[in-house]
Structure 1
Amino acid sequence: MRYIISREQFLAGVKEFIILSIFARRLVFIRHFIKLASINVISNLMVPLAGLIDVIFLGHLTEIRHLAGVALATILFNYIYWTFGFLRMGTTGMVAQAIGRKDNQSAVLIGLQHGILALILGITILVFQQPLQILGFAILSATPEVKSSGVDFYNALIWGAPATLVNFVLIGWFLGQAQSSKVLLLSVISNSTNVLLDYLFIVQWGWSSRGAGLATAASQYLMLIVGILLYCQTISFKQIQALIGELFDLSALKLALILNGEIILRTFALISTMAMFSNLSSMLGTEILAANTLLMQVVSLAAYFIDGLAFATESLAGIFQGSRNISSLKQLLQISVVSSLFIGLMFATAFICAPESLLRLLTNHPEIINNLRSYIPWLLPVLGFGSVAYALDGYFLGLTQGHILRQSMLKATLIGFIPSAITAWYFHNSHLLWLSMSLFMAARTITLALCVPKTLTIKQE
C-alpha cells in the first residue's frame, strides 16, 4: 500500500530539512571558528604570560624601581614597535582576501613586500636608537632611579627591533592563510625562550631590567630564524623568482601604503592613549604607577586572550570578503562578538571574586596589593566594552577597512579618553583615570558597531 503525504506535510518536511541543513552548516562553521580561535588563543596567550613572568621576576626584586623602570620603557617601545603594527595587521587582511580570491601569487607578493619594508624599518630604528632614547625618556615622567632602570631595559631590548618587525609580517602572513598552528609554534619557541632567559638573566645573574630586555631581544631572533624556515617551506624558489619584478610595483604598493597609513594613525592613537594612562599614573606616584601597571598587565592578559578570537575573525573575515560571502560574514560577526564578550566578562569576574590570591601572584609588596584592591572593579567596564571592541577590530581589519578603524580610534581617544584623563590629572585621582580608560573602550565599541550594518549590505571593493 502506497503512502501518500499531503501538500502541508511535504512543505513541513522541506522546512524541517532546510532548518536542519542550516543548523548543520552553522555547527560546522562554529566548529571551524573554535578550532582556529583556540589555536590563536593559546598562541596569543603566551605573549602576555611571558610579559607577566617578567613582571613577577621584577616585582619580587628588593627594589620596585626595576619594575617601574620597565613599565616606563615599555611606553616608549609601544610607540616604536606598535606604530609599525600595520606590518602584522595589514598583512593578515590583504593575504586573507587574496586567499579568498584564490590568488596565491598575490599572497606571496604581499608577504615579500612587507618583509622587505619591515627589515628596512628595523634597521632604521637601530640607526636612530640613541636619539629615540634621549627624546623618549625626556618626555616620560619618573624619578631618576626609575629612569635609570628604564634606560637599561631600553638599551638591551632595542637590538631586537629588526627581528621583531619582520616577525610581525611572518605572523600576519601565516594568520592571513589561517595557518594558526605555525603561529602557535613560533609563539612557543619565542616565549619559552624568553622565560628561560628571564630566569637566567634576572634571577640567577641579577641583571634586573637589562636582563629582561636582553631575554626578549634574543627570543625574537630565534623566532625569526624558525619563522623564515617555515615560510620557505610554504613557497617555492620559482615563485619568488617570478615575483622579483613586481616587488617594487608602485600600483600594488599604493593600495598597501594607503591601508597601512590608516592603521598607523589608528595604532598611534591607541598607543598614545595607553602612554598617557601610564604617564599620568607615574605623576600620581611610584606606588600608583606600579599598581596601575600590574592591573594593566591583567587587562593585557585578557586582551591577548580575546585577541586570539579576533585573529580568527580577522583571517576568516578577509577570506569571506575575498570570496564575497556576506552570509558567512554575518555568522562570523555574531559568533566573534558573543564569544569575546563572554570571555572578557568571565575574566573580569574572576579577579573581582578572588582578588587576594591572584594579586599575590603579581607582587609581594603589601602596599601595592592594598592599592590594587580598590581598582579591581574597573576591570568589569574596561574588559566588558574592550572585548567587543577587540572583536570588531578583527572584523574590520579582515575587511581592510582602515579608515573605519582610524576614525573610531581617534574619536575614542579625543572624546572618550582625554577629557576624563585631564580631570583625573587635575584632581590627582586614579579612579578617574580608570574611568577615562572605561570611556575609551566604550567609545571604541560604539563607533565601530555603528559601521557594521554598512559592511553587511554593501559589497566592499
Structure 2
Amino acid sequence: MSVAENKPAISYAEILRLAWPASVAASVTPLLGAVDVWALAQSSRPLDIAAIGLGSVIFSLAYWTFGFIRMSVAGLTAQAAGAEDEAEARAALVRGGVIGACIGVALVVLQFPIGLAAFQLLGTGSEASAETLAHGRTYFDIRIWGAPFALASYAAFGWLTARGRTDFLMAASLFMTLLNIGLDYWFVMGLGWGAAGVAYGTLIAEIAGFFAAMAFVLVLLKDHGGVKMHWRPQEFWKAERLSRTVAINFDIFIRTMLLAFCFAWFVQRSGAFGDVTLAANQALLQLFLFTGLALDGTAIAAETLVGRAIGARDRATGKARYVQAVRKTFLLGCIAAVLFTLFYWAAGSPLIALLTPEGPIREDMNAYMPWVIISPLIVVIGFQLDGIFIGATRSREMRDSMIVSAPIFLAASVWLANSWGNHGLWAAFSLYFILRAVTLAIWLPRIARSFDS
C-alpha cells in the first residue's frame, strides 16, 4: 500500500471546520459596509451613503491592491506547514508583516497627493454633488491613518488561515466588526457626524483588530514550540526566499490592483447616473460583496489544503490530497452558492427595506436587486479557483487571468451602460467575474501536472 493510500483522506468535516469560520470572517467586511449604509440611511444625512461610497472605494483600491500580503503569506505558510518547516512558516509571517506595515506608513505619508488625485478621478464625468465629494474626502482624510495597522493585519490573517486556525481569524474579525458597529451607532446616530463618524469608527476598529489578530498569533506560536523557538532571523531576508516572496507578491499585486480598479470603476461609473443611483449601487455592492466573501470560506479552506498538499514531501500523497481538496471544496462552494441565491430571491426586498427608508434610494435598489440575486452563481467558480491558485502560489496565472479579463470589462461597461444604463453596468460587472473563472479554469490543469515533474 502506498504512502498516499495510508494518508487519511480529506473529509468534508475537515473542510467545513476550516470553511465556516473563514466565511464568517470574510463576510463581516461587507456586513460592516451594510451597517454603515443602514446607520447613514437612518440619520439626517442619508446621501452620505454616496459619500462613503466614493471614499471607501479608494481604500478598496488600496487595500485590495495590497491584498497580496495576505495571499502570499497564506500560500507560503501553508506550504511550509506541509513540509513541516516551522522556521520558514514564521519567516513568512515576519516578511508579510513588515511589508504590510511599511506600505501602510507610505500611504499615510503620501495621503495628500493620493487623496487629491483620487478625488479628481472620481469626480471626472460624475454627476455626484460637490457636497458628496467633500464628505467623501473627509472620510478619506480620517480613515487613512489606520492603513499601517490594516495592512499589517493582512499578514496575521493569512498566517492564521494557513495554520488552520480560521476560528481565530473569525474571532478577530468579529471583534473588529462588532466594535465598528457600536462606534458607528454612537458617532452617526448619537453624535450626528455622518460620513466622518463612519470613518472614525472604522479607524478605531482597524487599530483594535490588528492587536486582536496579533494576540491570536502569539497563542498559536505557543502551541507550535513556544514564542521564542524556531526563529532564524538570518533567513528572514535570505536572497532565495526573498526573491520568491517578491515574485509572488508582485504578480498578485498586479492581479489585485486590476481587481480593485474594476470595483473602483464600477463605483465611479455608478456616479454617472447621479447621487441616488450611486447610493443604491453602493448599498447593493455591500450585499454583492457579502455573498462573494461568504462563499470565500471554501476558497480559504482550499488555500490551506492545497498549500499543504503542494508542500508535502511525498509527491504521491500530495497529489492525492490536492485532488481531494479541489473536488470537495468545489462541491461545497457550489452548494453554498445555490443556497445564497435562494436566500436573496426570498429575502431581497425585506433586506432592502431594512437597509434603507422609503424613497428613491430604495426604489433604485429594488430595480437592480436581480443582479445581486444571481451573483452567487456567477462569482463562486472564480472565487474557488482563486483559493486553489493562492494555495499553490501560482501567482503568474492569477495575474494573467486579470490582465485578460479587466480590459474586456472596461470596454463592456462603457458599451452596455450606454445601451441599458445601470442595468448595462451590472451586466458588464457580472461578465467580468465569468471571464475570471473561465481564464483560471483553462490554466488549472497545470497545478496537477506539477506534482509529476
- TM-score of the aligned structures, taking structure 1 as reference length: 0.90
Counterpart residue number, 2:57: 75
Secondary structure at the counterpart of residue 178 of structure 1: coil
Secondary structure at the counterpart of residue 62 of structure 1: coil
Counterpart residue number, 2:442: 450
Counterpart residue number, 1:309: 298
Q: Which of 93, 102, 106 is equivalent to 2:84?
A: 102
Residue 206 to residue 447, structure 1, CA distance change in 2 (3 Å): same
Which ranges in structure 2 are unaligned for 5 or more consecutive residues?
Answer: none
Residues 398-407 or 361-370, more deviating: 361-370
Which whole-Å CA distance do the structure 1 matches of 2:243 and 2:182 have between them?
A: 42
Secondary structure at the counterpart of residue 11 of structure 2: helix
Amino acid corresponding to residue 167 of structure 2 in structure 1: S
Which whole-Å CA distance do the structure 2 matches of 1:457 and 1:252 have between them?
A: 24
Counterpart residue number, 1:389: 382
1:132 aligns with 2:107: no
Residue 338 to residue 72, structure 1, CA distance change in 2 (3 Å): same
After TM superposition, the structure 1 = structure 2 runs for residues 230-245 of structure 1, keeping only pairs within 5 Å, are 230-235=216-221, 236=226, 238-239=228-229, 242-245=231-234
Residues 340-349 or 105-114, more deviating: 340-349
Amino acid corresponding to residue 392 of structure 1 in structure 2: L
1:380, CA displacement in angstroms? 4.7
Amino acid corresponding to residue 158 of structure 2 in structure 1: G
Amino acid corresponding to residue 110 of structure 1 in structure 2: A
- Is the CA contact 2:107–2:147 (under 8 Å) kept in the aligned structure 1? yes
Counterpart residue number, 2:413: 421
After TM superposition, the structure 1 = structure 2 runs for residues 159-308 of structure 1, keeping only pairs within 5 Å, are 159-235=145-221, 236=226, 238-239=228-229, 242-308=231-297
Amino acid corresponding to residue 455 of structure 1 in structure 2: I
- Is the CA contact 1:37–1:308 (under 8 Å) kept in the aligned structure 2? yes
Secondary structure at the counterpart of residue 257 of structure 2: helix
Amino acid corresponding to residue 444 of structure 1 in structure 2: R
Q: Percent identity?
A: 26
Which whole-Å CA distance do the structure 2 matches of 1:89 and 1:359 have between them?
A: 33
Amino acid corresponding to residue 170 of structure 2 in structure 1: L
1:419, CA displacement in angstroms? 2.2
Aligned length: 437
1:460, CA displacement in angstroms? 8.0
- Is the CA contact 2:44–2:192 (under 8 Å) kept in the aligned structure 1? no
- Is the CA contact 1:88–1:168 (under 8 Å) kept in the aligned structure 2? yes
Q: Which of 334, 353, 360 is equivalent to 1:341?
A: 334
String of CA shifts for 1:199-226, please: whole Å, max 9, x gaps.
1111111111111111111111112222
1:341, CA displacement in angstroms? 2.2
Residues 104-113 or 350-359, more deviating: 350-359
Q: Which of 21, 46, 62 is equivalent to 1:64?
A: 46
1:118, CA displacement in angstroms? 1.4
Which whole-Å CA distance do the structure 1 matches of 2:130 and 2:229 have between them?
A: 54
Residues 123-132 or 349-358, more deviating: 349-358
Residues 63-72 or 396-405, more deviating: 63-72
- Is the CA contact 1:344–1:387 (under 8 Å) kept in the aligned structure 2? yes
Which whole-Å CA distance do the structure 2 matches of 1:343 and 1:296 have between them?
A: 19
Which ranges in structure 1 are unaligned for 5 or more consecutive residues?
Answer: 1-21
Q: Bigger relative contact order, structure 1 or 2, given CA contacts below 8 A and separation 6+?
A: 2
- Is the CA contact 2:276–2:361 (under 8 Å) kept in the aligned structure 1? yes
Amino acid corresponding to residue 88 of structure 1 in structure 2: R
Larger radius of gyration: 1
Amino acid corresponding to residue 250 of structure 2 in structure 1: G
Q: Over aligned residue pairs, what C-alpha RMSD do you find?
A: 2.0
1:358 aligns with 2:351: yes
- Is the CA contact 2:31–2:286 (under 8 Å) kept in the aligned structure 1? no
1:449, CA displacement in angstroms? 1.1
Which whole-Å CA distance do the structure 1 matches of 2:32 and 2:418 have between them?
A: 35
Counterpart residue number, 1:5: none
- Is the CA contact 1:87–1:169 (under 8 Å) kept in the aligned structure 2? yes
